[in-house]
Structure 1
Amino acid sequence: MAGPGTVTAVDEFRPDGPNLVVGAENLEFLPSLPDGAFTLVYLDPPFNTGRTQRRQQLSMVRAAAEESDRVGFGGQSYKTIKGALASYDDAFADYWEFLEPRLREAWRLLADDGTLYLHLDYREVHYAKVMLDAIFGRECFLNEIIWAYDFGGRSKRRWPSKHDTILVYVKDPDGYWFDSEEVDREPYMAPGLVTPEKVARGKLPTDVWWHTIVSPTGKEKTGYPTQKPLGLLKRMVAASTRRDDWVLDFFAGSGTLGAAAAALQRRFVLVDQNPEALEVMRRRLAEHL
């Protein structure tokens, strides 16, 4: 495993090679990976939680088809024009200048039958949807998954925020891989309305996933502050990849995608520049590296 801040050499990733955990700034490392190498890319980037934010304003003007970068209603071609930018008091002066080139790399790295899962919360997900429509094309939007949970603060001045959003885009809307038979099943909410056989089998998940957070005192907890539940990632990997497919997470954090991939006999590349994250992943995934 490369050390913190080290950009791994191009020849360290091989389709027939080992799993990788890479200590690097992701935008510096990603160009070393080959086009179309990954069947699944999962991204859980910083949520941009600063209290004072300015938005990058987007406006659309009609343009000739050869000049456009997206298609709007009625088949009209549009060109995205980035307007006035304002400052964030979060970690990034411009969240969108940060995220957009990384999403373009995700598109490049996806296989023709590949799927992107972009995990955000309410602060930025609507802006990311516009960005992904421009990069992937609106026809490549597959799902908006709502991960609903019940933990944390309970405001009495508004409806408490108890969900994240996962945007799902595919490289080819006519050729992506999705295997619902491999997905874990959920209990019926009204079991008395279905047959005993259906109750025993459970139902396929919808686009609303009820799943608890990682328990602060449970065995799954790694100590990494933004760790996501293994069950969520296993569901994505099971549905959108096959055995021995490659998956990629370049905001890898605690390495949950790698743990899900290892459990389901997939192969993984995880990238993070945070030394704490790299140490957590080293411990968590040692037997798979």
Structure 2
Amino acid sequence: MRRAWSQTSPSRVVHADNLAVLPGLPDESFTLIYLDPPFNTGRIQKRQSTTSVRRTGVAGQAVGTITGFKGQRYEHIKGDLLGYDDEFDDYWGFLEPRLLEAWRLLADDGTLYLHLDYREAHYAKVLLDALFGRDCFLNEIIWAYDYGGKSKSRWPTKHDTILVYVKNPAGYYFDSATVDREPYMAPGLVTPEKVLKGKLPTDVWWHTIVSPTGKEKTGYPTQKPAGVLRRIVQASSREGDWVLDFFAGSGTTGQVAASLGRRFVLIDENQEAITVMQARLAALPDVEFVEGAWGPDT
């Protein structure tokens, strides 16, 4: 017997393939969805045959249509783009059905943060414009850092991109006043009062990576710093809201959400990630660890 999930359920960490879990969650359940999917850095996926044509159903429409959420010709745009770079095809085939679920699961005032690197961000931006609607694009956040090796044959790559899309551009939740402020880069140009208060962040976030020797380090290879997630959770959710991360990794999203009074669902199929999250989150109150997908009681 599988246990149902509802808005009154405890926060959960789920060990499963996310695509097996997501369809069991009710529509519009989450105010914030943060996704940090595996980057397509190696370009090792086997691309699908160019003789086959994939069609993906979108909200309320039969599979085979070519109209996106906002009446846009999503399949046509996708086909043109994937024809331009066939190597992206298989990666997007992995990510696309999960983003369709993310759109369904976002509350009307909800926000999606999709964290990618420079290899995929430009493709994803074009496809998400068509999938969500270009009017639902809110921000391109650049997370800049300065750590690791430095190339001498090109400008060193020291940033990730976080694409931000909202479900309803006329009614999304965003509260910049709750966000941790940062130091002024030129404090001599502002008043002492402003220096003391700090400035609101822009869409470029200078924040170090998780230090290999710092207290925050869990040992998980793709762990993201709590400071970056804290800013996202503060701005795009309220106390008591639900936060979803279905590429949960080290569990930073859940830890930050809990520290700010939010509830969360974290999903990952990697046993290493689950082990890290169990050690990191087990002491939190009202958190349940689940093996496998769940849904309505049968």
The answer, yes or no, to whether TM exceeds 0.5 is yes
Q: Structure 2 unaligned runs (5+)?
A: 51-64, 288-298
1:128 aligns with 2:124: yes
Structure 1 residue corresponding to 2:75, chosen from 76, 80, 96:
80
How many Å separate the matches in 1 of 2:129 and 2:40?
A: 20
Structure 2 residue corresponding to 1:40, chosen from 32, 36, 55:
32
Q: Structure 1 unaligned runs (5+)?
A: 1-7, 58-65
1:200 aligns with 2:196: yes
How many Å separate the matches in 1 of 2:87 and 2:209?
A: 32
Structure 1 contact 54–86 (Cα < 8 Å) conserved: no
Residues 10 and 116 (structure 1), Cα distance of their counterparts in 2 relative to 1, 3 Å cut: farther
Structure 1 contact 247–266 (Cα < 8 Å) conserved: yes
The residue number in structure 1 matching 2:61 is: none
Aligned-residue sequence identity (percent) comes to 69
Structure 1 contact 9–32 (Cα < 8 Å) conserved: no
- 1:22-58 Cα shifts (integer Å, max 9, x gaps): 001011110000000000000000111115679899x
How many Å separate the matches in 2 of 1:114 and 1:125?
A: 21
Structure 2 contact 45–91 (Cα < 8 Å) conserved: no
Deviation of residue 78 (structure 1)? Answer: 4.0
1:9 maps to a residue whose letter is R
Runs of 4+ in 1 over 6 A off after TM superposition: 52-57
Which piece of structure 1 moves more, 45-54 or 116-125? 45-54
2:75 alignment partner, SS class: strand
CA RMSD of aligned residues (A): 2.2
How many Å separate the matches in 1 of 2:107 and 2:190?
A: 39
Residues 158 and 34 (structure 1), Cα distance of their counterparts in 2 relative to 1, 3 Å cut: same
- 1:104-144 Cα shifts (integer Å, max 9, x gaps): 10000000000000000000011111121122100000000
Residues 31 and 77 (structure 1), Cα distance of their counterparts in 2 relative to 1, 3 Å cut: closer
| TM-score, normalised relative to structure 2 | 0.84
| TM-score, normalised relative to structure 1 | 0.86
Structure 2 residue corresponding to 1:96, chosen from 92, 97, 105:
92
Residues 174 and 55 (structure 1), Cα distance of their counterparts in 2 relative to 1, 3 Å cut: farther
Q: Which has the higher contact order (CA 8 A, sep 6+)?
A: 2
The residue number in structure 1 matching 2:213 is: 217
Which piece of structure 1 moves more, 45-54 or 230-239? 45-54
How many Å separate the matches in 1 of 2:45 and 2:118?
A: 14
Residues 264 and 116 (structure 1), Cα distance of their counterparts in 2 relative to 1, 3 Å cut: same
Residues 201 and 137 (structure 1), Cα distance of their counterparts in 2 relative to 1, 3 Å cut: same
Deviation of residue 67 (structure 1)? Answer: 5.8
Structure 2 residue corresponding to 1:112, chosen from 108, 112, 118:
108
Structure 2 contact 43–87 (Cα < 8 Å) conserved: no
Residues 134 and 238 (structure 1), Cα distance of their counterparts in 2 relative to 1, 3 Å cut: same
